[in-house]
Structure 1
Amino acid sequence: MKLSGSAVLTPEGFRPGTVTVENGIIQAVETGGTLENTESFNAGNGYILPGFLDIHIHGYAGADMSDGSVEGLGRMAKALAREGVTGFLGTTMALPERELMQAAGSYRQYRRAPEPDGAQLFGVHLEGPFFSQAKRGAQAPEAVIDPDEGLFTRLWEAFDGEIKLMAMAPELPGAMELIRLASQKCRVSVGHTEADYDTACQALSSGADHITHLYNAMPPFAHRAPGVIGAAAEKARFCELIGDGRHLHPAVVRQTFRWFGGERICLISDCMRAGGLPDGAYTLGGQVVTVKNGRATLHDGTLAGSVTSLSECVRRVIRMGVPKEEAIWSATLRPAQSVGLDALTGSLTPGKRADVLITDENLMPRLVLVGGRVVYRAG
């Protein structure tokens, strides 16, 4: 299959060209011209992009990674693919060990027979349960605990060693020891934390290299107390930003891309099960969430993730003033790099999986390929 268009995203920017796909792999990317024949899909004035990769997403289309449902994972994967999200990390909540083990069981079963028309489930993002009670956000208070090396090891084994990212608060007892242990197996992120600047720096020197939804669920930056945000600016390799337009002011999003540099930003959705569904009452981590006018909150008004797909987050941050190329790279190559998947996906590079998104001029999906398979075609 040949995919041709006037705006193929390359490391040098958008160029006219053709992407050749065979046997699920990108075989060639040729720039300088387009094809007009029956073997090619011509994007016209649209864009040919790497598929979006969401490394922090709890649920979508009524399903949640933590449900322990194989059918739910398939429904989630299929709905995400239609949005141009070709890959994701199933993200858990802070839950009792028994429920996390149930999620691990369904994860293993799904990986053996995944949804053929769905986004690729590349692994697991363990968000919690080792968090600060004061900064737990929408995490259930009874499930938030201090670091436990034994529990991490049991979960690592239960998820078949496919935990790609683990978020935790570094100020808790035993946290630094767990960071050193876990970072030998997966990427470790600082999040849901009250850590001060020095503690965050220590964590980022002990094996953590990632920040969970920067600005959210952490102390604010202050000129005498720079905290996690100040430490992240100096030492973090990657920082997540929720791009739904509700968790962060547009000016903060624009300024963070300038301050940190786009090469360090991973756009995430932090989406919960209500994504793609109408307003109403839903659950997240065992707690009731009310979605009204696209805003998900607990009973006390605490934001409970988003209801926005990563593709919509990309469109929104572009409207906020982030350059188009930077916004797209922050939802493709950067997250792939951040969790060690960039040899497989994240860019239109020969030898990588053919996870490809063709959009119209407004970045709305027209054609989606996951591993070279057409999983969605508009109209």
Structure 2
Amino acid sequence: MIIRNIQVFLPDKSFHKGCIVTKDDKIERIYTQKEEEGSGEMDDPNLIEDAFSIWKGKPGFREKQDIIDGRGAYAIPGLIDLHFHGCRGDDFCDGSMEAIKRIAEYEASVGVTAIAPATMTLPVSKLVSILRTSAEYRREVCDEGIARLVGINMEGPFISSAKRGAQDAKYIIPCDASVCDRFLEASGGLVKFIGIAPEASGDSISFIRRVKDRVHVALAHTDADYETALAAFRAGADHLVHMYNAMPPFGHRAPGVIGAALDSPKVMCEIICDGIHVHPSAIRAAFRMMGEERMILISDSMRGTGMPDGRYTLGGQEVDVRGRRATLVRDGSLAGSVTNLMDCLRTAVREAGISLETAVACATRNPAEALGILDHYGTLEEGKMADVVLLDRNLGLQGVIVRGRMRVGEK
């Protein structure tokens, strides 16, 4: 496949005119040229001729079908959502391979080509079952043309009741390395993050030191003060779950978890840019404080995403969805989002004023790096997965190429 007449997003976070050649599920070649003043041409004819030469001798080459004219579109890597719960009526914690596949189909349709869904706080036995099903899905289900399951983000059960948000308090337990071992074994290596509230367990530092070489330890749903959070980061925790949400506020006398993350340069920070969870000014402040290389856009979407307003469930609790807002019926607390990651990227750009280049990197390269999959995903480079999203100048979705297979349009 040749994708021509595009603005290619390169690893240095710049757009250049060019074309992309894919072969099977990988990027074969990328041709770019610097824009020449006054030139209306998007492709250097010599570069395109070189691209054609790769494909003309291929059996079954069909010029019309195998050449995509991007018509000047932005070509960016497929998005990677490393924290979301579900969409289109399904939840990852439903624990079925059918639900995972439907979730993966929807995500691909909106430009998300790799996923690491999040669990909720549930009984340990239920979580183990969900993880085993996920491992089986990864082994047995054909994911051609849909988002690939590349990890799992465990948001519970080692969290704080005081900051539980939409998590069910009755299933919260202290940090336990033996339970974590069960999770890692059941998932067959898919669990990439395990969330904890360091203040909620007697010896969270020992827990972090024991598991940090096998899984990223994240601070999540925590009421920790600055000193406790900083000790956790110094012990090896290196990830912050949905910055600002389900944690103490950042204050000038009590900087809390956010202040500790600010003073810990290796910590990556998730942020929900759905227009509901975090004010645009606070989004801008987060990027300025932490630096764009540490920020990861997430959706935190739940099963009501892509569905009509109404009643849904999250972690066994009833949720009321109205417009862009999802709240618990019991107390009105925010209960995840109903916004996919592509819409979060648009919100970051349009409402928070984050540059397109930065927003794209924070929804592609940064999550890939955090997941440890940057060798294969997250940037448009030769030899990497042919996951490409085409956006028009208004950030409307023009097309999605998933591992070299074209699909068009949003559902």
TM-score scaled by structure 2?
0.89
Provide the alpha-carbon RMSD of the alignment: 1.6
Displacement after TM superposition at 1:117 (Å): 2.9
Q: For each residue in 1:191-230, what CA deviation from the matched residue of structure 2 results, as whole angstroms up to 9, or x when unmatched?
A: 1101111111111111111100001000001111111010
Displacement after TM superposition at 1:12 (Å): 4.8
Match status 1:160 vs 2:191: no
Matched residue of 2:209: which SS? helix
Q: Hey, what does 1:244 align to over in structure 2?
A: 274
Q: Hey, what does 1:81 align to over in structure 2?
A: 108
Looking at CA atoms only, which structure, 1 or 2, has the larger radius of gyration?
A: 2
Match status 1:332 vs 2:364: yes
Contact 1:120-1:370 within 8 A present in 2 as well = no
Larger deviation, residues 36-45 vs 172-181 = 36-45
Match status 1:189 vs 2:218: yes
Contact 2:135-2:190 within 8 A present in 1 as well = no
Counterpart CA distance in 1 for 2:5 and 2:196 is 43
Counterpart CA distance in 1 for 2:76 and 2:168 is 38
Contact 1:74-1:114 within 8 A present in 2 as well = no
Distance 1:183 1:114, change over 3 A: farther
Q: Hey, what does 1:24 align to over in structure 2?
A: 25
Contact 1:243-1:314 within 8 A present in 2 as well = yes
Displacement after TM superposition at 1:259 (Å): 1.8
Counterpart CA distance in 1 for 2:257 and 2:142 is 38
Contact 2:151-2:371 within 8 A present in 1 as well = no
The match for 1:279 among 284, 306, 309 is 309
Match status 1:317 vs 2:344: no
Q: Hey, what does 2:299 align to over in structure 1?
A: 269
Larger deviation, residues 275-284 vs 23-32 = 23-32
Count of matched residue positions in the alignment of Structure 1 and Structure 2: 379
Displacement after TM superposition at 1:365 (Å): 2.0
Match status 1:15 vs 2:45: no
Kindly provide the amino acid, as one letter, of the partner of residue 367 in structure 1.
G
Q: Hey, what does 1:365 align to over in structure 2?
A: 397
Matched residue of 1:329: which SS? helix
Matched residue of 1:259: which SS? helix
Contact 1:279-1:294 within 8 A present in 2 as well = no
Q: Hey, what does 2:128 align to over in structure 1?
A: 101
Displacement after TM superposition at 1:378 (Å): 6.9
Matched residue of 1:107: which SS? helix
Identity of aligned residues (%): 42
Matched residue of 2:249: which SS? coil
Q: Hey, what does 2:251 align to over in structure 1?
A: 222
Counterpart CA distance in 2 for 1:233 and 1:248 is 18
Kindly provide the amino acid, as one letter, of the partner of residue 143 in structure 1.
Y
The match for 2:383 among 335, 351, 354 is 351
The match for 2:229 among 186, 196, 200 is 200
Q: Hey, what does 2:60 align to over in structure 1?
A: none
Counterpart CA distance in 2 for 1:219 and 1:288 is 25
Q: Hey, what does 2:333 align to over in structure 1?
A: 302
Kindly provide the amino acid, as one letter, of the partner of residue 20 in structure 1.
V
The match for 1:131 among 134, 138, 159 is 159
Q: For each residue in 1:231-283, what CA deviation from the matched residue of structure 2 results, as whole angstroms up to 9, or x when unmatched?
A: 11110431000010100001111121122111110000000111111111000
Contact 2:145-2:403 within 8 A present in 1 as well = no
Counterpart CA distance in 1 for 2:309 and 2:410 is 25
Larger deviation, residues 287-296 vs 253-262 = 253-262
Larger deviation, residues 270-279 vs 229-238 = 229-238
Kindly provide the amino acid, as one letter, of the partner of residue 268 in structure 1.
I
Matched residue of 1:245: which SS? coil
Gaps of 5+ in 2: 34-41, 50-62
Matched residue of 1:351: which SS? coil
Q: Hey, what does 2:320 align to over in structure 1?
A: 290
Distance 1:190 1:12, change over 3 A: closer
Matched residue of 2:134: which SS? helix
Counterpart CA distance in 2 for 1:339 and 1:180 is 19
Counterpart CA distance in 1 for 2:128 and 2:405 is 32
